[in-house]
Chains A and B, each alone.
Chain A
Amino acid sequence: MVRFKSRYLLCEVCVEDRSSLLLLEERAIFHAVKTAVARSHGDYGAALLILSFAVKYVNAHTGIILIRCRKSHYRILWSALPFISCLENRGQKVQCLISCLHVGGTIRTCQKFLVKYSTQQLHRMLPHCKNEAERDEVRRAVLSCSLEKERDVEEEEEVEEDDWEDE
């Protein structure tokens, strides 16, 4: 039993220039989300964020962020996310888009999803490699981040997806 139920939004920040992702900071995201909610839902929206709104995780290299809010109002927060078009940090404005990858009830499920998603990203990068050394490196990375169990799950899912496409 938990007393307060939360929703965790696992989001990805996309920018034009990957190097500007390194500017990503918890405070900047917190501030941007807060203003966006206040702008699109007014004082009511801003008031809802006082309770339990937090940025739990930021990965500046991949642009992955994890936001927590109360389960009852997460849609209000989510509907404001598309209206964020730039993040500001230390006086530098960076144009960006935030797309939600997964909505979970616990950090654990989000993490599981993230492992799978990251593996998928590496798979997507593989054909873009220019030479054999790069390719080997990506291959090794793919193998190192997918646990044995995870791989089984993924294979099952791929089969399911193929079935669905055949219909």
Chain B
Amino acid sequence: MVCKMAMFMDLNVNFTKDKKTLQNIIETAAHLGYSTVAINYTLESQQKKPEIPKPTSISDLFTKLPVVQGRSRPIRVLSRLTVVATDPSHFRPNAEYKAFDLVAVFPKTEKLFHAACMTFEVDIICVTVTEKQPFHFKRAPVNGAIDRGVFFEIVYTPAIRDSTMRRYTIGNSLGLMETCKGKGVILSSGAEKPLELRGPYDIANLGLVFGLSEGDAKAAVSTNCRSVVLNGETRTTAFGIIRTMKKPPPAPTASEEDKSEERENSAAKRAKMEH
């Protein structure tokens, strides 16, 4: 009964230096039934010299990953970089971005939003939830983003923390839904504490409040997230067909082997889809 649906994913768990908290969050996510989480590193570009963080390896966090509720597989942990951009120069795709499984951009102005939708090499575009949206969502860039397979992300943790934020979250997401008609949206937590996560079914239901239809809300926590992850994987490949990688060390551990195998599979799938 538990897992007849596609796998649930939460693609935004904030990185904290405190390892214990991070472990707790991931354990809670596994308990709630999420099969994939992404640890989010934020790159604030307002500072003079932005330093791109390095993703911590999973083996540092866990010796044995917790098993997902209702499944026999361990949870999958990805890394994600969010670039907060107020100026076009802030988003510079380079080799450091490639260390992350997913790249997201948080555009603060309309011009940047347009650029992010149409040209930037990203997987996710974040939507403001903590203040009033400073610009209207225009149909052209939003449709462009959906066609390119870039997804819009709505974070629900601020809505849980505070009633004013809740108004902004619901208002802004309703504004987005007017333009995108519920397509190309993902819902994720942005949790900093383990108790800020919510169950996937609860979030699918919460999507109704955010203006999504029932099917779209379910897709927003499952299938859409899957497309985002696959999109992120193909970013490191050439058209999703060829992938170069370093020769693995002589004795790879079982988990690493699994992962590379999974990647190859999905790259193959993607290639098929494109043909």
Contact = CB atoms under 8 A, between A and B. Distances in A.
B3 A161 contact: yes
Contact of B202 (A40, A78, A120): A78
A16 B20 CA distance: 13
A22 to B, nearest CB: 18
B194 A16 contact: yes
B159 interface: yes
Contacts of B156: 82
A146 interface: no
B241 to A, nearest CB: 22
Interface residues of B, number: 30
Interface residues of A, number: 28
A32 to B, nearest CB: 14
B69 interface: yes
A154 to B, nearest CB: 10
Contacts of A157: 1
**For the complex, would chain A's binding face be called helix, strand, loop or mixed by DSSP majority?**
helix
Interface of B: 1-3, 24, 28, 31-32, 67, 69-71, 156, 159-161, 163, 166, 194-199, 201-203, 205-206, 208-209
Given A82-B156, A85-B196, A117-B2, 16 more contacts: A14-B195, A16-B195, A39-B163, A40-B166, A82-B160, A82-B202, A82-B206, A95-B195, A97-B28, A97-B197, A99-B199, A100-B199, A102-B1, A120-B2, A127-B67, A161-B71
Contacts of B197: 97
Contacts of B199: 99-101
A52 to B, nearest CB: 20
Contacts of A15: 195
A75 interface: yes
Nearest 9 CB-CB pairs, A to B?
A: A99-B199, A82-B198, A82-B202, A97-B195, A78-B205, A79-B209, A95-B195, A100-B202, A82-B206
Nearest to B3: A161
A65 to B, nearest CB: 14
A83 interface: yes
A19 to B, nearest CB: 16
Nearest to A113: B1
Contacts of A113: 1
Contacts of B28: 14, 97
Interface string A80-112: 011101000000000111111110000000000
